[in-house]
Chains A and B, each alone.
Chain A
């Protein structure tokens, strides 16, 4: 079953602009994580935000979490061509055998 859903499915912006992606989920979570996947590669962990946190920063990344709305956003500031990738949110509901539940991803294209 799909827990996290990213929006938009695809996003194309100019280099230097900011990119915002959103994730909505359905059930209570322990934490929410964002991953990046370059074409033909494995996923790379970007940032983890716990259910009792509202905002986290890591370099050019800013993640927010609103548990009342069951939603999260990922902001990439001052985008670069190297940021072109698919971005996935993943929710951890705390059940080990459930694993992480991944959304279908947002495909981000940074135009030079």
Chain B
């Protein structure tokens, strides 16, 4: 099984502050994803990556940026956090082709006050 570590697991921050969430994988999978999960919306794709320095926007990318300087690390940054970004954030990798058999991390609970 793929190993994914998300950090931090929980974070409380104030509106207007920048926040970076980290996703670290141990098995050199090519495709990595950031999703957010909100009640009533299910999971929605924020950004994804198909290799080092190769990223693309998902359905709800406004207010977020990502970076992937190494295969194993995929960072999600909220440039200026807003209360609407309070959510649970999940990182995932594809164990097959793109968008197939995603393996998810344990999530980061982010609260923006």
* Cβ-based interface call for B74 (8 A): no
A104→B59 contact, CB < 8 A: no
B90→A43 contact, CB < 8 A: yes
A33→B101 contact, CB < 8 A: yes
Q: How far is the CA of A97 from the CA of B96 in the complex (A)?
A: 16
Task: Give the residues in chain A near B59, CB-CB below 8 Å.
Answer: 1, 98-99
Q: How far is the CA of A11 from the CA of B105 in the complex (A)?
A: 26
A97→B58 contact, CB < 8 A: yes
Closest-CB distance, A71 to chain B (whole angstroms): 17
A97→B48 contact, CB < 8 A: yes
A-binding segment of B39-47, B62-70, B79-87:
B39-47
Our count of residue pairs bridging A and B at CB distance below 8 angstroms stands at 65
Most buried by A among B35, B43, B48: B43
B42→A102 contact, CB < 8 A: yes
Q: How far is the CA of A104 from the CA of B107 in the complex (A)?
A: 17
Closest-CB distance, A59 to chain B (whole angstroms): 16
Using CB atoms and an 8 Å cutoff, list the residues of chain A in contact with chain B.
Answer: 1-2, 31, 33, 35, 40-45, 48, 88, 90, 92, 96-100, 102-105
- Taking A48-B96, A100-B102 as known contacts, 10 extra A-B pairs with beta carbons closer than 8 A to each other, sorted by chain A number, are A41-B106, A42-B106, A44-B104, A45-B101, A97-B48, A98-B58, A99-B33, A100-B99, A103-B42, A104-B40
Using CB atoms and an 8 Å cutoff, list the residues of chain B in contact with chain A.
Answer: 33, 35, 40-45, 48, 50, 56-59, 90, 92, 95-96, 98-107
Q: What are 26 A-B residue pairs whose CB atoms fall within 8 Å in the complex?
A: A2-B42, A31-B100, A40-B107, A41-B106, A41-B107, A42-B90, A42-B92, A42-B104, A42-B106, A42-B107, A44-B104, A48-B96, A48-B100, A48-B101, A96-B56, A97-B48, A98-B59, A99-B33, A99-B35, A99-B59, A100-B43, A100-B102, A102-B43, A102-B44, A103-B42, A104-B42
